[in-house]
Copies of this chain bind each other. A is one copy, B any other.
């Protein structure tokens, strides 16, 4: 009966994953509903989607900019204050 434990563990993992995937799907559906609602009020969902996409891109780009700035600072040996790679030693 040694594998019973593994079996239960496995089952637990799967159930956690499936639970979360359901939640994810529910949220995706909610998003779809909002687009439908907006469309119902006369908005062009195509434009709306593009706006959302561009805003996401902006965020992403900003994050990359900051990442490269950190990279530069590191390269110059002058990282900004809390930029410790690892000095908890």
Interface residues in chain A, defined as those with a beta carbon under 8 Å from any beta carbon in chain B: 9-10, 13-14, 16-18, 20-21, 23-24, 27-28, 30-31, 34-35, 37-38, 41, 43-44, 46-48, 50-58, 60-61, 64-65, 67-68, 71-72, 75
CB atoms of A47 and B34 under 8 A apart: no
Q: Smallest distance from the beta carbon of A83 to chain B beta carbons, Å?
A: 15
In the complex, the count of this chain's copies comes to 4
Residues of B within 8 A of A35 (CB): 17
Which 8 pairs of residues, A with B, have the shortest CB-CB distance?
A24-B27, A50-B68, A13-B38, A20-B31, A47-B71, A57-B61, A54-B64, A20-B27
Residues of B within 8 A of A23 (CB): 27
